[in-house]
Amino acid sequence: MNKFMQATLLAAMACASVAAGAAGYPQAGKPIRFVVGFPAGSSIDNVSRIVLDDIRARTGAEIIVENKPGALGVLGVDAVARASPDGYTMMPSSSATSSSGPHLSKAFQRYDALKDFTQVGRVVRFDVVIVTRTGGPLESARQLIAAARAKPDGMTSGYGSGTGQVVAAAFSRAAGARVLGVAYKGQPAAVTDLIGGRVDLVASDLGAVLAQIRAHKLNAVALMSGKRSTILTDVPTAQELELGKLDLTGWIGVAGPAGLPPEVVRWWTVQLSDTMRNAAVQERLRNIGMEPDPMTGAPLQEFVREQYESWGQQIRQAGIQAE
């Protein structure tokens, strides 16, 4: 047998092995590893657990969440990119890893969100909000903007995701100020330091700070979306604050390694569809600041592509360089 025929045979055997493994997916007694590249308590982690709880309850599938925080989500993405495309290693896809991350981290740039991963479905979209600590001198957007302009390079912004980094930079640029960004392993750590007075503001997924806003530990001073939130109806948008037509919203979904078998994609698509029709799940998601907004198939692929371009434009305008 020549080398070409041998290589062809081995490739065919590999494909057959993956297809055989997908038959009867998920197999009883074989857990699905769901790798979250952000810490417990982050928006991506919270959404993942709500969605997976419902899937487990309906199907009996064993799905184990494994948190691998760090490097703006790169550690989790790396683990899934290297995994076998058999459906037993999955992850949340998001604006942090698929839209902003590739423009912010050189480590992300070795991956293409559409070529190197199978984008299965979007489940939610969410607002990004600028928050300050209650009881401090920056309890409104006007106070924050005035202080930032008065103290160039004298204010700090904590962020624990690519989304937060970009939004904070876009807000700073639009306000005509210079705010020093401080990176954290996740949004909960950034919020902890904000409450403790170690940073001046945080740009965060609404879901990661909604509980503290409701408990009056944080002030929501500005939204970076194009319209007001249905959850925080009294918080002004960037446009209302005369900061331009900023419209940056985040999203979270489910993805796996490139080349997932059709049977696996079909199973996840069906489960996500059933879960997102569940009124109890919708209520749980809205309670943590997320808007259910499912999408699959070709529209999802186009959405992921468009979001990559949109966030890239904002990052270039903000002058952020990939590190």
Residue 133 near residue 158 (C-beta atoms within 8 A)? no
Give the residue ranges of DSSP H helices in the chain.
Answer: 3-22, 43-59, 74-81, 101-104, 141-150, 162-174, 187-195, 206-214, 262-276, 279-287, 297-318
68 compared with 205, residue with greater pLDDT: 68
Q: List, for residues 281-303, the tens digit of each pLDDT value.
A: 999 999 999 999 999 999 999 99
What pLDDT shows up at residue 319?
A: 81
User: Is the pLDDT confidence value at 33 over 80?
Assistant: yes
pLDDT bin (cut points 50, 70, 90) of residue 249 is: confident
67 compared with 23, residue with greater pLDDT: 67
Report which residue type is found at 316: R
Q: Which residues pair with 296 in a beta bridge?
A: 121
- pTM of the complete model beyond 0.85: no
**How many Å apart are CA 136 and CA 121, to the nearest integer?**
41
Please choose, from the candidates 88, 30, 73, 270, the residue with its C-alpha nearest in 3D space to the C-alpha of residue 183: 73
What pLDDT shows up at residue 23?
A: 58
Please choose, from the candidates 129, 307, 147, the residue with its C-alpha nearest in 3D space to the C-alpha of residue 219: 129
Q: List, for residues 203-227, the tens digit of each pLDDT value.
A: 988 888 999 999 999 999 999 888 8
Q: List, for residues 101-136, the tens digit of each pLDDT value.
A: 888 888 888 899 999 999 999 999 999 899 999 998
**How many Å apart are CA 131 and CA 300, to the nearest integer?**
30
